[in-house]
Amino acid sequence: MGTVKPPPPVLFFSSVIFNDPVILKGVEEGLARLVGPIREKTEMMAFSESDYYAAEMGQGLSRYFLLFESLLDREMLAAVKIGSNEIEAAAAAGGKRRANVDPGYIALEHVVLATTKGYAHRIYLGRGTFADLTLLYENGSYRPLKWTYPDYGGGRLVSLLNRWREDYKGLLRCRKA
């Protein structure tokens, strides 16, 4: 029989896709209140992997990622997703989102994203949210799965997440010391 014990805390991050940089300060402040201080912000890049958001948010979208400082319990994923949806709603105009905020977390063994859309590989967390197992860590790197979004499985983002995993490992070591 196994012993019940909590898993190690994880390091949260968020993708922010947007059409108007004016809203970013409010989005970041909202996320910092929700998840904690921002540790790192990536450069802005064109979001050209999909036109999924174009009908609602328009063309010429940009994206960047935020990494948060604090190690947090995995159980917070549902609350963070619900909070990120509220941040999106606060930034909306005319009934349309101007930002898509997608939180997730980095663990030593995998990367998990939060979503409100169910699917066969997504585990229900409660409160209308699901955990999407996006990448697995094996043979020295995160690896995509057959359902991984193409951008998350690409070299640039996997490289970033591997680097953030090293930061996470350091935070875990400091926590144990």
Q: What is the SS3 assignment for 143?
A: strand
Residue 171 domain-assigned (yes or no): yes
Residue 80 domain-assigned (yes or no): yes
pLDDT by position in tens, the chain (length 177):
889 999 999 999 999 999 999 999 999 999 999 999 999 999 999 998 888 999 999 999 999 999 999 999 999 999 999 999 999 999 999 999 999 999 999 999 999 999 999 999 999 999 999 999 999 999 999 999 999 999 999 989 999 999 999 999 999 999 887
Number of Cβ within a 10 Å radius of residue 113: 23
Residue 5 domain-assigned (yes or no): no
Residue 123 domain-assigned (yes or no): yes
The C-alpha angle 11, 38, 111, rounded to 5 degrees, equals 25
Q: What is the SS3 assignment for 60?
A: coil
Residue 3 domain-assigned (yes or no): no
Residue 71 and residue 122: Cα distance in Å, rounded? Answer: 23
Residue 164 and residue 124: Cα distance in Å, rounded? Answer: 26
Residue 107 and residue 65: Cα distance in Å, rounded? Answer: 17
What torsion do the CA atoms of 67, 70, 74, 76 make, to the nearest 10 degrees?
-90
Residue 2 domain-assigned (yes or no): no
Residue 117 domain-assigned (yes or no): yes
pLDDT, position 165: 98
**How many domains are contained in the chain?**
1
Residue 63 and residue 60: Cα distance in Å, rounded? Answer: 10
Residue 1 domain-assigned (yes or no): no
Domain span at residue 144? 10-176
Residue 133 and residue 144: Cα distance in Å, rounded? Answer: 9
Cβ–Cβ < 8 Å for 12, 105: yes
